[in-house]
């Protein structure tokens, strides 16, 4: 329990560092969705820690202060992922049909897992969070696929860090919630890893958002030169191989 409390304090400290550094580096206007999410989590987390210290972990006030914000935070995190997607390539009319099939697949997986979770015994708030984490994980994969498909786009340290941090958060927390619901993990162990995984994600956010590094689209000339270098390297390898 003490280690969990220390990790919670460390996480709150990182949240404040992210917000303060974002203000000083003028990053808040550039990544509004992300910093709105971080600010929301910082305010609610500080409030939860205060209630925990004053009224105790088992108080009704702490119960509601922990569960009610978690009904909103998954949607804010999805907005962050959608923002990254739009920065890579805005969704225009001609591409909406291309997105239809992947969107249906993602929605189908979410519905199946949500049905399985809501038929499982346990706290309905916990089951909702587990379903939300799974849907966020699928959306993260969806964004990763799109980003990797745009080789001419360099995502930059900021957005790469946000995407990596979100993926670490939803992936590891999803496993943590799955163990709690399906394998009966002790509550103290669950809460420790809840704070630990969140601390890891916040550490990634802190490092990647220390300075501004935007998305860069490589010019056609630069891409042609890279292609020419690749061709020259391939020819050199073939010559070496044939000489042997």
Q: What tens digit of pLDDT does each residue of 61-88 get? A: 888 888 888 889 989 999 999 888 887 7
Which secondary-structure segment (H or E) carries 216? strand 216-217
DSSP 154: E
Instruction: Give the model's confidence band at 89: pLDDT under 50 very low, under 70 low, under 90 confident, else very high.
Output: low
Is the pLDDT reported for residue 56 higher than 60?
yes
- CATH class of segment(s) 2-219: mainly alpha
Query: Over the stretch 160-201, which tens digit does the pLDDT of each residue have?
Result: 899 999 988 888 888 888 778 777 778 888 888 888 999 999
Instruction: Give the predicted TM-score (pTM) of the model.
Output: 0.77
pLDDT digit string (tens) for 107-158? 666 566 666 666 666 677 888 888 788 888 888 877 877 776 666 677 788 9
Beta-carbon contacts of 93 under 8 Å, excluding residues fewer than 6 positions away, are none
Beta partners for residue 153, in sequence order: 217
The phi and psi torsions of 18 (rounded to 5 degrees) equal -60, -45
Q: Where are the domains of the chain?
A: 2-219
């Amino acid at each position: 329990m003490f280690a969990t409390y220390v990790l919670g304090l460390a996480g709150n400290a990182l949240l404040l560092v992210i917000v303060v550094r974002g203000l000083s580096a003028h990053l808040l206007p550039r990544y509004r969705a992300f910093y709105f999410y971080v600010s929301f989590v910082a305010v609610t987390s500080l409030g939860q820690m205060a209630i925990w210290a004053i009224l105790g972990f088992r108080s009704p006030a702490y119960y509601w202060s922990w569960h009610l914000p978690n009904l909103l935070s998954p949607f804010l995190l999805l907005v962050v992922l959608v923002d990254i997607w739009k920065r890579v390539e805005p969704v225009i009319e001609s591409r909406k049909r291309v997105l239809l099939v992947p969107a249906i697949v993602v929605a189908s997986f979410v519905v199946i897992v949500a049905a399985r979770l809501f038929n499982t015994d346990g706290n309905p708030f916990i089951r909702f969070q587990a379903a939300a984490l799974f849907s966020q994980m699928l959306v993260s994969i969806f964004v990763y696929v799109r980003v990797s498909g745009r080789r001419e786009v360099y995502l930059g340290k900021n957005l790469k860090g946000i995407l990596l941090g979100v993926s670490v958060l939803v992936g590891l927390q999803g496993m943590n919630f799955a163990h709690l619901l399906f394998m009966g993990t002790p509550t103290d162990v669950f809460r420790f890893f809840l704070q630990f995984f969140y601390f890891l994600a916040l550490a990634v956010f802190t490092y990647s958002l220390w300075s501004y590094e935007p998305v860069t689209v490589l010019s056609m000339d630069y891409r042609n030169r890279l292609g020419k270098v690749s061709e020259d390297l391939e020819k050199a390898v073939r010559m070496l191989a044939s000489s042997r």
